[in-house]
C-alpha cells in the first residue's frame, strides 16, 4: 500500500472546460486552502479553446498563478499521473461512461464525482467514492474535506473502487 503524498495530490483528469465542473472545483478548493487544508490540485487535460465552454485566457492565467494549482495539460501516460495521485475529482455536469473515472478506479483511487449518468455507474456513493450534485461548490468542498481529513476512508474507497472495476468493468463484461 502506498502512503499518501505530502502535500496530498488531488487530480482533475479532464478537458479544461466549464462542463467538467472546473469552476466549481477551483472555487471549493480555494475555500479549503483558506481553511488551512494542504493539498495540490493537479489539472491534467486538454485546454480546448475551440470549445464554447472553454475557460478564457484570463481564467486560465488566474489558475496558473495559484501556487496550489498545477496545470499539466494533456498527458499521453495517464498511468504515471494516477500513480502520483491520492484523490481524483471530476465534478462533470454530464458524462458518457467516463474513461478517466474507470482508469482512476482501476488504480485504486478514491473518486469524487457528480451524481449523473456515466459517473454514478463507476462510483458507488459512500463505497468507492463520493457523489455530489451537479454545479454544487459546497457539496464538492464538503466531499473533498471529508476525504482529505480521513486517510483510512479514502484508502477503503480506493480498494472498493478497484474491486468494483475488476468485478463489473472487465473487457469481457463491457
Looking at residue 49, its pLDDT comes to 80
pLDDT for 78 beyond 80:
yes
Tell me the pLDDT tens digit for each residue of 4-18: 788 999 999 999 999
Share of the chain above pLDDT 70, in %: 95
At 18-59, the pLDDT tens digits run 999 999 999 999 999 999 999 999 999 988 888 888 888 888
Where on the phi/psi map is residue 131: left (φ > 0), alpha (ψ -120 to 50), or beta? beta
CA distance 145 to 154: 11
What cell numbers appear for 3 in the block?
Answer: 502512503
- Within 6-136, residue ranges assigned H as helices are 22-34, 57-65, 78-83, 99-106
pLDDT of residue 142: 98
Q: Please say whether the beta carbons of 52 and 167 come within 8 A.
A: no
Across the range 81-91, mean pLDDT stands at 96
How much is the average pLDDT of 129-137?
Answer: 98
C-alpha span between 43 and 63 (Å, rounded): 10
The predicted model gives 126-141 an average pLDDT of 97
Euclidean distance between CA atoms 61 and 58, whole angstroms: 5
Cis? peptide before 7, omega within 30° of 0: yes
DSSP state of 125: B
Map grid coordinates 471530476 to a residue: 90
- Report how far residue 29's alpha carbon sits from residue 41's, in angstroms, rounded to the nearest whole number: 8
Amino acid at each position: 500500500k502506498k502512503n499518501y503524498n505530502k502535500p496530498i495530490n488531488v487530480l482533475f483528469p479532464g478537458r479544461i472546460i466549464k462542463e467538467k465542473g472546473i469552476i466549481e472545483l477551483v472555487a471549493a478548493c480555494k475555500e479549503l486552502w483558506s481553511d488551512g487544508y494542504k493539498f495540490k490540485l493537479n489539472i491534467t487535460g486538454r485546454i480546448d479553446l475551440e470549445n464554447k465552454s472553454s475557460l478564457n485566457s484570463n481564467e486560465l492565467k488566474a489558475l496558473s498563478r495559484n501556487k496550489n494549482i498545477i496545470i499539466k495539460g494533456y498527458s499521453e501516460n495517464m498511468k504515471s499521473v494516477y500513480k502520483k495521485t491520492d484523490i481524483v475529482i471530476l465534478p462533470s455536469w454530464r458524462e458518457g461512461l467516463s474513461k478517466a473515472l474507470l482508469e482512476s478506479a482501476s488504480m485504486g483511487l478514491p473518486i469524487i464525482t457528480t451524481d449523473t449518468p456515466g459517473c454514478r455507474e463507476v462510483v458507488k456513493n459512500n463505497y468507492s467514492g463520493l457523489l455530489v450534485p451537479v454545479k454544487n461548490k459546497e457539496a464538492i468542498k464538503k466531499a473533498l474535506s471529508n476525504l482529505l481529513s480521513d486517510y483510512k476512508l479514502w484508502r477503503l474507497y480506493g480498494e472498493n473502487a478497484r474491486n468494483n472495476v475488476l468485478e463489473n468493468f472487465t473487457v469481457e463484461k463491457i
